[in-house]
Amino acid sequence: MIKKIVTVSLLTAASGLVMAQDNALQAYGLTFSGAATLASDYRFRGQSQTENDPALQGTFTLTHTSGLYFNVFASSVDLPLSNGKSAHLELDPTLGFTTPITLGQIKPNLDVGVAYYNYPSASDLNYPEFYAKISFADAMIKGDVLTPSISYSYKYGGTATSDVMGDDVSNWNFNLAYSAPFADTGFGGVASVGYTKANQNIYGNDDNFVDWKAGVTYGFKSVNGLTAELDAVGSTIDGYTGAANRAVDAGAMFSLTKTF
């Protein structure tokens, strides 16, 4: 309950700041945007971060006209550590740069940056991750987006994972995501597949796995910026039992997101 109260407080305070500062920021070429989400589960690359329980989340982004941006993602989590502690809040700052590029007649959008996965009550889990992705708009039909991406961390899982494995863990993730509208119905489809490869066997009995997601979205016309999403998610991670196995097994999740 405490972790949800903290998350709600962060979302409320930040959303108030967005509304108060929006006009002043525009004079400096800056734009504030954000989103609040209530989800039945929080899955990161197919793995539940809440032991399959609901999560409250918020995303806040400050963007400059140059393409430079600063983002903060907040979420309730439930991640137990081997030392008996648990992480109940995730608060991830990200610094990135986005710009259109030209590839022949195609003009996708390039996005590069570094994210810092941060857990205030369990700093042993903290670690940085570098990423790059290219988004192709109208790739196959009008309104769709195809996004291949790559991410790398040289200390995945922080010192908590390093202590257990006896050395730092490097980790690569490759992902392909796609979204498309279903004409003008308000409905849309989303899908993604990812491949993760580490230098040690930290995923059950293996050093790699595949994760996937397929779902349907709906944008409410009566409430601007409100979207519902229903997904099937899962991974190929094996070797776990009980709650740990349910956290990586195939399942369904539902979320409501309000942008502002």
Sign (positive or negative) of CA dihedral 218, 219, 221, 224: positive
pLDDT of residue 243: 85
What backbone phi and psi angles, to 5 degrees, belong to 148? Answer: -85, 145
Q: Is 58 exposed, middle or buried (0-12, 13-18, 19+ CB in 10 A)?
A: buried
pLDDT of residue 21: 60
Torsion, Cα of 234, 235, 237, 241 (10° steps)? 0
Q: What is the mean pLDDT of the chain?
A: 92
Is residue 113 predicted with pLDDT exceeding 80? yes
User: Structurally, what CATH architecture does the domain formed by 2-259 represent?
Assistant: Beta Barrel (2.40)
The pTM is what? 0.89
In this structure, which long-range contacts are made by residues 184-193, counting pairs with CB atoms below 8 Å and at least 24 apart in sequence? 186/218, 186/219, 186/220, 186/221, 187/216, 187/217, 187/218, 188/216, 188/217, 188/218, 188/219, 189/214, 189/215, 189/216, 189/217, 190/214, 190/215, 190/216, 190/217, 190/229, 190/231, 191/215
Per-residue model confidence as pLDDT tens digits over 83-108: 777 899 999 999 999 999 998 888 99
DSSP conformation class of 189 = E
Between 9 and 113, residue with greater pLDDT: 113
6 pLDDT band, cuts 50/70/90, is low
Average pLDDT of span 12-31: 70
Domains in the chain: boundaries: 2-259
Per-residue model confidence as pLDDT tens digits over 216-231: 999 999 999 999 999 9
Per-residue model confidence as pLDDT tens digits over 130-186: 999 999 999 999 999 999 999 999 999 999 999 999 999 999 999 999 999 999 999
